[in-house]
Amino acid sequence: MLEIKNLHASVDGKEILRGIDLRIGDGEMHALMGPNGSGKSTLSAVLTGNPMYEVTEGSITFNGKDLLSMKPEDRAHEGLFLSFQYPVEIPGVSMTNFMRAALNGKRRYHGEKDLTAAEFIRLMKEKRTLLQLDNKLANRSVNEGFSGGEKKRNEIFQMAMLEPKLSILDETDSGLDVDAMKIVADGVNSLKRADTSCIIITHYQRLLEYLQPEIVHILYKGRIVCTGGMELSRRIEAEGFDWVRNAD
């Protein structure tokens, strides 16, 4: 699915990622943990092609294609999805128009016809129910006036609509109460298939207990310093990151 080799990236001339190597296979769920400022969000920004970040070295291959040479929208069309840590409010653009433009953008890229209005509405309704979002959502502007929990549920709703191959959940659990976290986790679990993969960026054990990732990585100062199973995340929950810092 994804292969990252010796990835270096910087923002405003400051190097944040300092040689990341990561391989994610089909159907795998990986957790990415690490103290604040270790480069977790930078990695998701670089993967999705955020123009603020500059890749200075290394390569990323996504299903055999060179990801770094693609425009952000084409990366999305190829099946890459990011659940934003801070979903952006877009006043004046309704969720319906936004979602329809996104879906049809992907369909056109793959040489498919646009969805009819009826097909689109049916799909919206089906996926909305999954995330327990009410039907007023369709007419509201994207994320405008949404509560923190609604914004995060709306991210997973969009993930359900777009059916990506690789989803990155960037601190999707932050700001969620326990009930909302359960809804989000159930949503993510229900979208899991043998050919879809997921990267979960989080600080907390709770979401990982719901999602049960097979592999846990610890990112520190722009490098993956440790890889293991859920025992790693449990150790972080119990002891914090000091042992990672001390080992460095």
For another protein, the binding residue among 27, 58, 105, 148 (CB under 8 A) is 105
Residue type, 80: L
Is 4 an interacting residue with respect to another protein (CB under 8 A)? no
For another protein, the binding residue among 16, 17, 33, 76 (CB under 8 A) is 76
Residue type, 26: D
Using CB under 8 A, which of the segments 22-30, 57-65, 85-93, 146-154 binds another protein?
85-93
Q: Nearest distance from residue 73's CB to another protein, in Å?
A: 5
Residue with Cβ nearer another protein (158 or 233) = 158
Residue with Cβ nearer another protein (64 or 91) = 91
Angstrom CA distances, 11 to 80, 171, 184, stand at 22, 20, 31
What's the CA gap between 200 and 32, in Å, rounded?
6
Is 175 an interacting residue with respect to another protein (CB under 8 A)? no
- What is the phi/psi pair of residue 10, to 5°? -140, 160
Written as six digits, the tokens of 138 are 């369709």
Is 137 an interacting residue with respect to another protein (CB under 8 A)? no
Q: Nearest distance from residue 167's CB to another protein, in Å?
A: 12
Question: What is the torsional sign of CA 39, 44, 50, 55?
Answer: positive
What's the CA gap between 64 and 52, in Å, rounded?
25
Q: What strands lie across the sheet with 54-62, from one edge to the other? A: 14-24, 2-11, 54-62, 65-66
Residues near another protein (CB under 8 A): 48-51, 71-73, 75-77, 81-82, 84, 87-93, 97-98, 101-103, 105-106, 109, 141, 158, 162
